[in-house]
Structure 1
Amino acid sequence: MGDIGGASAGMNGTPTPGGQSARSYFDQPVRAELVFSRDPVGRTYVSRQYMPYPFHICRPLYIEHDPPGMATLYVQSCAAGLQQHDDLRTSLVVGSDAQVHYTTATPTIVHSMEEDQAKQETWIEAYPESLTEFLPEPLILFPRSRLRSSLYVSAHESSSVIAGESFLLHDYSGADGVFDWFESELKIQRPGGTALARDRFRITGNLFRERRPGVNGEFVAQGSFVVLAGEKFTEAMIGAFRDELGSSTDVYAGVSALRDRCGVWTRLLAPNGLALRGAMTTAWVAARKLLTGLSPTPRRK
C-alpha cells in the first residue's frame, strides 16, 4: 500500500502540492491512471491517461445542469467484470479547480471463482478547489465470488469529494447461492496524512444469507456514501440526507458527521438493487444541490 499524503501523493511526473514529482502509489506502476485538469476557459479535461486492458474510457461528456465545465467520464471493462486472480488498480488525480463526475456504464459483475480472489483498489487525490464525484454502479456478487475492494482518498481542505460504493448479490441459476466473502475498506485523509475516516468490514455470504438483525436483516443490498465538503456544509448536509432518505419506506439509512465535521457519512440498506440505486441517486442529488446550487441531470446508462 502506498503513501497518499504529502508530496509523495500523485502519479509519476505529476506535480504534487509540495512541488515535487510524485512516485507511483505502488511498487509497480498503477494499472490505470487518469489526471483531470482545468483548461484556461474553465473546462475540465483528461490531461493524462494510461488505461490498459481491461479498462476503457469514453470521451468526457459535458452535461446540461452540471457546474460549468464539469466533465462526466464513463469507465467500462472489456473483461465483463471481475474474475479470479484479477488485481485492478486505478489512480484518479483531480487538479486544482477541476470538476469531474466519474462513473461506470453498468454494474460490475464479480464472477464465481474456483480459487484465489479478486482485488480492486482506487486512489483519489483531490487538489484545492476541485470537485470530485466518484459514483460507480454497484458490484454484483455472484455465488462463490471473493472480492477485496479498497478506496483511498486524499483530499485538500478546500476540495469537495462525493464518493459512493455499493453491492448486492445475485444467483444467476435461480437458486440460493451466495458469494464466499466480501471485504471493503475506505480510508480518507488530508494530503499531510491526517486521518479523517476509515471504514472496514468483512462479511461472508453465509452470514449475509442468514438475514441476522444487526447485520443486514431483511436487506440484500448495501451502499456507503460519503461527502467531504468542510464544516460549513455539514449540518445542512445531514439534515438534507435525513429528510430525503427518511421519506423512503424501502431503505434503511444512517447519517452522521465525520471527524472535525469535515463531511458526512451515510450507510444504506435496501431490499433490492432498484431501491439501492434510487437511494444512492437521492443522496447524490442532495449533495450536489448543497455544494453547487444545481440539481444534476440523471446519467443515462
Structure 2
Amino acid sequence: MDGRAQTQSTALAFPALGFVGDRNAAIRLGREASELAAFQDEPAQMASAAIGKNGFLRLGFERRGPRTILAELDRRIPALAQRTLYPEQALPDLAWLFMITTTGCLLQGDRMALEIGLGPQARAHITTQSATKVHSMDANYAAQTQQIALAEDAYLELLPEPLIPHRRARFISETRIQLADSATLLYAEILQPGRKHHHPDECFGATLLSLATTATRPDGRLLFSEKLVIEPERQALRQTGVMDGFDVFGNLMLLTPPAVADRVDARIGAAVDQVGGLAFGACRLPNDAGLIIKVLARETEQVKAKLHEYWAIVREEATGTALSPPFFWR
C-alpha cells in the first residue's frame, strides 16, 4: 500500500449530514488541546502524522431496498474496514461492520480520524476487531477524532472493544455527534486501567487520557457536552468519587427520542455491590437527548456483561426486535 485513500463510492452526500471530509482533524485536535501543551515534542523515530501514522476512515451507510448498505468507503492506512455482514435473522436490514487498524495499536505520534454517516432509515452495527491498545510513550501523544452523523430514523450501534492505555500513555479523543430528532445512537466506551496483570505500575499508569463527547442537532443546537481528563500522576484515582476500589469504567450513551428513552429508563436500575465489585446507574441527558449510563467494575467482563444487558434492552425498545444470542466470533 502507498498510503493513499481508497474510495469505493460517493453515493452518500456527507455534506448534507454535516461532514466536510476532514482527514486532518486529529492533527489539529492535539495541537489545540491545552492539556497536551507539554507533549508537543516530536518522536525520535518516525515523525507524528507521517504516512502510516495518520489514519482516516469514512463510512457512509444508506438504506437500499430491504437492506442497509455501505454506500461510501474512504480510507487511509492504517485504517481499514471489513465488508458488511448481515448475521441477524431478526433484523436482516442491520449492516454489521468491523473496523480494523492494521498496525494493531496506537503509538506516539499516531493520528486517527473516523467519520460515520447514516442516511434516512439506515441501520448499522459498528465495532472493532479487538481492543484499542495505546502503547507507552516518551514523546508526543496519540490522537483520535470521531464524527458521527445520523439522518432521520437512522439507527446506529457503535460498540467498540475496550481502550487499554499502557503505562506512560498519552491519548486524546474527541467525538462529535450530529443526529436528527428521530434517530437513535447507542455508543459505548470501555476504559481499562491498563495491563494490570502485567506489571504493578501498569494499573492506572497512563500519563494523560482526555476523552470528550459533544452532541448537536442538524441545525446546530447543542444537546450536551462531556469531557473527562484523567491524569493519575496529578490526581489519585483510588479515592471515593473517582474509581475507589474499581478498575474498569464503562460509559454508555443512548441518544434517542424521548419515548424510547422513557421505556429504556423504566427497565434499568442502579446498584452498588462492593462485594461483587460492580456499580452502575443511569441519568437523563439534557435537552431530551436520551440517557447516559455509567458502569464501574473490578474486571472488564463484568462491564461487558452489564453493557450487553443494556444493549439488549435498547434493541428491543428502539427496534422492536430481540437481540440475537452471542455469535461464536463475537
> By how many angstroms is 1:69 displaced?
0.8
* Residue matched to 1:7: none
The CA deviation at 1:45 is 1.0
Q: Give the structure 1 partner of residue 76 of structure 2.
A: 52
8 A Cα contact 2:12 2:61, kept in partner: no
Contact residue 23 and residue 113 of structure 2 kept, 8 A: no
- 1:280-291 alignment runs, 5 A limit: 280-291=307-318
- Contact 2:177-2:215 within 8 A present in 1 as well: yes
CA RMSD of aligned residues (A): 2.5
Selected match of 1:24 from 11, 21, 26: 21
Distance change >3 Å, CA 183–CA 127, structure 1 → 2: same
State the one-letter code of the partner of 1:277.
K
Q: For 1:293 and 1:155, how far apart are their aligned partners in 2?
A: 21
Aligned to 2:278: 251
Choose from 246, 265, 274 the match for 2:292. Answer: 265
Q: Distance in 2 between matches of 1:42 and 1:268?
A: 36
After superposition, the Cα gap between the structure-2 partners of 1:15 and 1:199, relative to the gap in structure 1 and judged at 3 Å, is closer
d(CA) in 1 for partners of 2:182, 2:127: 23
Paired AA for residue 175 in structure 1: P
Q: Give the match for residue 51 of structure 2.
A: none
In 1, distance between residues paired with 2:90 and 2:217? 27
Pair 105,66 (structure 1): closer, same or farther in 2 beyond 3 Å: farther
Give the fraction of aligned pairs with identical amino acids, expressed as a percent: 22
Q: Choose 70-79 or 57-66, whichever is displaced more.
A: 57-66
Equivalent residue for 2:181, pick from 141, 151, 157: 157
Shift of 1:44: 0.8
Q: How many Å separate the matches in 2 of 1:234 and 1:247?
A: 25
AA partner of residue 202 (structure 1) = V
Q: Which runs of 5+ in 1 are unaligned?
A: 1-10
Supply the distance in 2 between the matched residues of 1:237 and 1:23 (Cα, whole angstroms). Answer: 34
1-structure distance, mates of 2:234, 2:245: 12
The gaps in structure 2 that reach 5 residues or longer are 1-9, 27-54
Aligned residue in 1 for 2:135: 111
Q: CA deviation at 1:236?
A: 1.7
Q: For residues 111 and 27 of structure 1, what CA distance do their matches in structure 2 show?
A: 22
On the 8 A contact 1:208/1:215 being kept in 2, the answer is no
Worse-matched range after superposition: 65-74 or 110-119: 65-74
Q: What is the letter of the counterpart of residue 137 of structure 2?
A: M
User: How far, CA to CA, are the matches of 1:258 and 1:42 in structure 2?
Assistant: 33
> 1:33 is aligned with what amino acid?
R
Q: TM-score, normalised by structure 2?
A: 0.80
- Residue 137 of structure 1 is aligned with which of 151, 161, 164? 161
Aligned pair partner of 1:38 in 54, 60, 63: 63
Structure 2 matches for 1:1-301, cutoff 5 A? Answer: 14=13, 16-17=15-16, 23-25=20-22, 31-39=56-64, 41-171=65-195, 173-177=198-202, 178-206=205-233, 210-242=237-269, 249-297=276-324, 298-299=326-327, 300-301=329-330
Moved more, 232-241 or 246-255: 246-255
| Counterpart-to-counterpart distance in 1, 2:149 and 2:63 | 15
Residue 80 of structure 1: CA displacement? 1.3
Amino acid at match of 1:251: L
AA of the residue aligned to 1:139: L
Amino acid at match of 1:198: S
Structure 2 counterpart SS, 1:169: coil
Distance 1:290 1:13 in 2: 28
Query: What does residue 5 of structure 2 align with?
Result: none
* CA shift for structure 1 position 208: 6.9
Cα offset, 1:87, TM superposition: 1.0
Cα displacement string for residues 150-200 of structure 1 (whole angstroms, at most 9, x for unaligned residues):
111100111111111121022374232311111110111101111111110
The answer to whether the 8 A contact 2:118-2:151 is kept is: yes
Secondary structure class of the residue paired with 2:254: strand
SS of aligned partner of 1:184? strand
Whole-angstrom distance in 2 between the partners of 1:146 and 1:27 = 19
Q: Would the alpha carbon gap of residues 139 and 15 (structure 1) be closer, same or farther in structure 2, given more than 3 Å must change?
A: closer
